[in-house]
Structure 1
Amino acid sequence: MKKLVVSFVLFISLISASFAENFFAHRFFEIKVDVPVNVSNNLIGLTDVLQESVVIDLPQMADNIKFVGAAIKANAAPSVSINLDIPRGLIFGLQVGAEADVGVGLSKDLFEFLGHGTTNMGNDFTMKTSNTYADLFATVAVKGGWNFKQSSISFTGTAFSSLVHFDAGNTFARVYINEQENTFGYEANLDAKLYSAARTEDLSNVNTIVNAIKSNSGFDITGNYERDLFRFLSVGATARIPIVPSKLSTLYSVRTDTPYGGSISIDQLLGTDSENEGGDTREEEEGSTTTTEEKKDLLGEPEILAQPYSIHRPMKIGVSADFHPFGTLLTTTGYLGLGFRHPFAAAINKSTGGVDETQVYVDYSIAGRLSLWNILSLTLSHSYLDEIFKNELALALNIRLVEVDAGVSFQSPSFTKSFTGAGVGAFVTVCVGF
């Protein structure tokens, strides 16, 4: 009988949590601190190294990335915000934050060579950089909108300043064998550009950063619309539209005007040349295509650009849906959209002969959230956002005045590697309000 009573009370409590809005469901005012950090790769996962006998299978690694090459990603987006959200009333918010995003990509040829030697490649292979970039933004955002009975609409205007933008374009290394001359040849070219809001040595000065933010700020606007179609289904749409680009006036070039190269006699390399019986290996002078003057120019001095380099934050558009047949007890959410990194790059830098750096990718996510009275919540999600597959577990403890959310994730640019711990991410969010 006692077990029956306890079971009945528990059942009634769950039903009440499922179909009733409660005290913990919504804060009207809050101050929020959010710190997410993510690092990932598509080469090696935690499951590959957390073994009694660690074996790095280079042939298998080469096969795993044979279509996309190697990719390493890292990003962080700490922020502090103040929000007012009144039911059937005003939406208002202020946010200050920073966004850092880094990507390094290498073509598959290097790993093909390490894993399979020259058996699959012949006597010539080239390793190139791909999708190699770095961006650092400082942001200040103002949000305004209104909650209606069954819908809400809001707009967020964000002033952003690009502090650093890095791009490695035509960078490659080539190794080949010339069978006719019996030589081992190599060729390399370095072409990287670092755009900065000020000289890099001055970026540690707070006043310099503040002045740079004031002088080179860009602007974009984000619109968000949500509507309850039914009691158990809500839909939404969001879009971030670039308006004014941020401008960077200082350029550091790391480059070679012509590819650096040379060749080495295979006989000398193997110590079989009759003229080189001592085994000395000498680089052929005539094989080099780099002059002394060009070598001096490898690391360029900072250049103040007459026409600054222009850059936007990523452009985003997407739609979402929330399915919650049991009230707040169980919610399933989904999102599908498109992302555009460095949108309109060629157009806004046309006067300076800018290269089209724009990259388009699909974003999606699906998540399930289990919540008990909106006090304790567990969320499991899988997503592909900003070209990263992520599998995340998040917990939230909400006692109305204070809420703490924390989560960890396995992630990777590779779908299969995202389940092996090839990358890890974590976030902590703390909200204080009423």
Structure 2
Amino acid sequence: MNKMKKTTIFCFLSFIFISLSSGEINRYNRKIEFGVEAEGGFSNNYIKATDILVKDLVIDITELADDLYGKDFVVDFNAEAKTWFALNFSEKFRLNCFWGVDASGYSAISQSLFDLLCKGFEVNSNETIDIKMFGDVYALSGFTFKTKIKDYGLHLTPVLFTPLFHINETKATASYTSTEDGLIRAEAEIPLNVYSIVDLDGIEDNVKDSAFVQDMVSEIIKNTGFDFSAEIERPFGNSLDLGLFTRIPVVPGRLKYKAYKRYWGVFEQQNALGLLNETNSYTKEYGDDDAVYSKTTKTVHRPFILGLEGAWRPFGKWCTIQPKVNLAVRNPYSGEAEIYGEYSLEADLRILNIIGLKAVTAYENLIYKHSLGFMLNTRILEIDAGVQVRGADFERSFGVTGLAAYAGVKFGF
């Protein structure tokens, strides 16, 4: 909490004391513009597409355990959709109103699970295998106002957001015990807490009448959160622009309902040596408990962000290099707070601003991403589309351990 307060104070002081003059990092092609875009993808940090797209699929657990030494096995996904209406009359007045949905999830299984699968049980041993996961789904709406005050380029973005679902960091466990007399016992448990804006018990029972819809809309309005983004830009000569930006969480969104469900499994082998003469015995049980629904308030902030970005045009407007680095804090102001860094490096090449090619490499939300996109701009209509390879391991992410795609359409004049 104290660290977040110091970071927020630093952010405000930065805006007061850093001497900047105006510049524009982003490109604007139309005075009035409507747009819609969507992106979705998933990844892991080990299994490549080339490993799966074969006639005979074989996964070597021993090799997997060796390659993951000291790392978790990570699976993630993200999906987002956004639409907007923008007015770009001049560098003194730019207004972009937007709304959309943003979803992401992340899970990690400790490498010790794969050690157990490939090396087996050790006598007189006991070990715990950690599994963690988290995820969020937000509905967003807001606007960005960009202007020029004397020599200062200023961007202000207030955002209203409603958390629709939230899975706080969940630590599942799997453990095993082995003794000299041949006892082997393994058990696993995944306690899953899902917070939601509406009662999931009603959804499961297929209660979707008008009263349910009215209740959902009312809950969304009453439990909306608020955060605020700002950026100041400055040009350095004719080819370089730099900007300082931040997102400051202000009011948390609230979720009023919780669904708890536990998945479990137990395996016990008595007298393992008896396998040789069939005198051994074993039992196994697995299943899941009935879901438990309750009314519990959970507050959620979008991540705090503080960073720098730039636009370098060494050969003119047809070639733009855009680097970006930032510090992010997931779940700020809470005991679940996690600090991590992010970066992005983008090259945007355009021929007469009609045909464009964009290449991006980035590390965002704990995932490495490498994108290649294409742009076609006919002034009135612009189409952007691209593909992305990704993963939680930098080297393997180039080997297609994950895929994503995005597409967008802009039109106006």
Specify the alignment match of 1:427 in structure 2.
406
Aligned counterpart in structure 2 of residue 364 of structure 1, from 340, 343, 346: 343
Q: CA deviation at 1:139?
A: 0.9
Compared CA separation, residues 88 and 25, structure 1 to 2 (3 A):
closer
Is residue 67 from structure 1 mapped to residue 65 from structure 2 by the alignment? no
1:294-373 equivalent positions in 2, closer than 5 A: 298-305=289-296, 308-345=297-334, 356-373=335-352
Specify the alignment match of 1:383 in structure 2.
362
Q: Is the 8 A contact 2:381 2:411 kept in 1?
A: yes
Compared CA separation, residues 147 and 394, structure 1 to 2 (3 A):
farther
Q: Is the 8 A contact 1:129 1:168 kept in 2?
A: no
1:165-204 equivalent positions in 2, closer than 5 A: 165-167=166-168, 169-179=170-180, 181-202=181-202
Q: CA deviation at 1:149?
A: 7.5
Instruction: Name the SS for the 1:171 alignment partner.
Output: strand
Q: Is the 8 A contact 1:320 1:336 kept in 2?
A: yes
Instruction: Name the SS for the 1:327 alignment partner.
Output: coil
Q: Is the 8 A contact 1:225 1:237 kept in 2?
A: yes
Q: CA deviation at 1:110?
A: 1.4
Q: Partner letter of residue 322 of structure 1?
A: A
Q: TM-score, normalised by structure 2?
A: 0.84
1:218-257 equivalent positions in 2, closer than 5 A: 218-255=225-262
Structure 1 residue runs of 5 or longer lacking an equivalent are: 1-23, 346-355
Q: Partner letter of residue 377 of structure 1?
A: G
Specify the alignment match of 1:154 in structure 2.
155
Specify the alignment match of 1:406 in structure 2.
385
Specify the alignment match of 1:38 in structure 2.
41
Structure 2: distance between partners of 1:183 and 1:195: 40
Compared CA separation, residues 323 and 115, structure 1 to 2 (3 A):
farther
Q: Provide, for residues 251-308 of structure 1, a one-character-per-residue CA deviation record: whole Å limited to 9, x for no partner.
A: 122349xx986743124862647xx4xx6x2449xxx9x9xxxx99x43421112xx1
Specify the alignment match of 2:143 in structure 1.
142
Q: TM-score, normalised by structure 1?
A: 0.80
Specify the alignment match of 1:16 in structure 2.
none
Q: Partner letter of residue 266 of structure 1?
A: N
Compared CA separation, residues 168 and 188, structure 1 to 2 (3 A):
farther
Aligned counterpart in structure 1 of residue 130 of structure 2, from 112, 125, 128: 128
User: Greater Rg, structure 1 or structure 2?
Assistant: 1
Q: Partner letter of residue 229 of structure 1?
A: F
Q: Is the 8 A contact 1:171 1:189 kept in 2?
A: yes
Q: CA deviation at 1:101?
A: 0.7
Q: Partner letter of residue 271 of structure 2?
A: I
Structure 2: distance between partners of 1:182 and 1:218: 56
Specify the alignment match of 2:22 in structure 1.
none
Q: CA deviation at 1:58?
A: 2.2
Question: What is the RMSD computed on CA atoms of the aligned residues?
Answer: 2.7
Q: CA deviation at 1:396?
A: 0.7
Q: CA deviation at 1:117?
A: 3.8
Structure 2: distance between partners of 1:75 and 1:238: 23
Quick one: percent identity of the two aligned structures?
A: 26
Q: CA deviation at 1:25?
A: 5.9
Structure 2: distance between partners of 1:224 and 1:25: 17
Give structure 1 regions of 4+ aligned residues with deviation exceeding 6 angstroms: none
Q: Provide, for residues 65-100 of structure 1, a one-character-per-residue CA deviation record: whole Å limited to 9, x for no partner.
A: 222211111011101111112223212121110111
Q: Partner letter of residue 61 of structure 2?
A: L
Q: Provide, for residues 335-384 of structure 1, a one-character-per-residue CA deviation record: whole Å limited to 9, x for no partner.
A: 01112221122xxxxxxxxxx22222111011212111111110111110
Query: How many corresponding residue pairs?
Result: 380
Q: Partner letter of residue 189 of structure 1?
A: E
Instruction: Name the SS for the 2:177 alignment partner.
Output: strand
Structure 2 residue runs of 5 or longer lacking an equivalent are: 1-26
Specify the alignment match of 2:9 in structure 1.
none
Q: CA deviation at 1:122?
A: 8.2
Instruction: Name the SS for the 1:417 alignment partner.
Output: helix
Q: CA deviation at 1:115?
A: 3.7
Instruction: Name the SS for the 2:317 alignment partner.
Output: coil
* Residue range with higher mean Cα deviation, 402-411 or 43-52: 43-52
Compared CA separation, residues 139 and 430, structure 1 to 2 (3 A):
same
Q: Provide, for residues 16-63 of structure 1, a one-character-per-residue CA deviation record: whole Å limited to 9, x for no partner.
A: xxxxxxxx9631221110101121111211132345665423222222
Q: Is the 8 A contact 2:28 2:88 kept in 1?
A: no
Compared CA separation, residues 237 and 173, structure 1 to 2 (3 A):
same
Q: Is the 8 A contact 2:268 2:282 kept in 1?
A: no
Specify the alignment match of 1:266 in structure 2.
271
Specify the alignment match of 1:351 in structure 2.
none
Q: Partner letter of residue 334 of structure 1?
A: P
Q: Partner letter of residue 220 of structure 2?
A: I
Q: Provide, for residues 169-209 of structure 1, a one-character-per-residue CA deviation record: whole Å limited to 9, x for no partner.
A: 34201122112x43111233333211111112546664343
Compared CA separation, residues 52 and 262, structure 1 to 2 (3 A):
closer
Compared CA separation, residues 269 and 172, structure 1 to 2 (3 A):
farther
